[in-house]
Amino acid sequence: LNHNSKAVFQHYFGWWSGVPETYHRLPHEVTASKYVEAMGGPEAVLKRGEAAFGSGNYRWAAELFNHIVFTDPTNEPARQWLASAYEQLGFQAESGAWRSYYLAAALELREGVPDVGDPQLGNQDFLKAVPTLDLFDSLAARFKPETFKRDPFVLAFEFTDTEETVAIHVGPSVVVPRAGRPDDPVATVRTERDVFDRVLLGQLDFRVQAVKGTIGIEGDVLAVRAFLRSLDRPDFWFPIATP
């Protein structure tokens, strides 16, 4: 109820609470050290957190310990106390998602970010069910502007098996996919959707398929290459309890 009611509120009213101070808050990586300093330093905050934990006020304890961890992620006592607070909050959580996040955060604080390889979560059958425009929207979210060194351009991706065409507007800081063929693309990529899916999954190499002819490129090949190279592949494992 707590989790979903907030989601419903944000869906209809947005993220803003109505208090002007929350419009443009500083990130927690910046404010954490200021809170710790204002409360007398890490030792003083640690004592307050321990007292809150001892009285069963785990939510307040977690907030206090979290300020210390975001000020100094190497502060081992704060990490251990925060892990214990998260653990207690996880045990009490009604939501399965909350419980999992709390306990995963506790594990990270005690043992570090997991490093058990890079799981391949891609599934060809799953991708096949994703609408083509939605697929390109997901690729747009991976666009890394700092790796893009060209003036803006427009590409066209034509899928011969599904008879779909998607226009890719590549700008200096954003990629915008739109359904339909653009008026003046710098290059057109023609292939089957299944081939493109397998390229995204890493099962096929784009350049090899271009040589074989299963992927055809008409126009500026370097523009296509620049677009594909600008798509970042984020690490699967990342910190959730530390900055």
CA distances from 106 to 71, 81, 91, 99 (A): 18, 9, 12, 11
Q: Using one digit for the tens of pLDDT, what is the confidence trace for 93-117?
A: 999 999 999 999 999 999 999 887 7
| Token code pair at residue 233 | 């592949």
Beta strands in the chain (DSSP E): 153-159, 164-170, 175-179, 187-191, 216-219
| Token code pair at residue 16 | 């803003």
Q: Using one digit for the tens of pLDDT, what is the confidence trace for 24-50?
A: 999 999 999 999 999 999 999 999 999
Q: Using one digit for the tens of pLDDT, what is the confidence trace for 150-175?
A: 999 999 999 999 999 999 999 999 99
pTM score of the predicted model:
0.76
CA distances from 23 to 15, 32, 47, 213 (A): 9, 18, 32, 52
Residue 7, number of CB atoms within 10 A of its CB: 9
- The residues with which 143 forms a beta bridge, in sequence order, are 231
Q: Do 80 and 109 touch, CB atoms closer than 8 A?
A: yes
Burial of 81 (0-12, 13-18, 19+ CB in 10 A): buried
- How far is 83 from 97, CA to CA, in rounded Å? 17
**What's residue 39's pLDDT?**
97
Residue 121: is its pLDDT beyond 70? Answer: no
- How far is 16 from 10, CA to CA, in rounded Å? 8
**What's residue 115's pLDDT?**
82
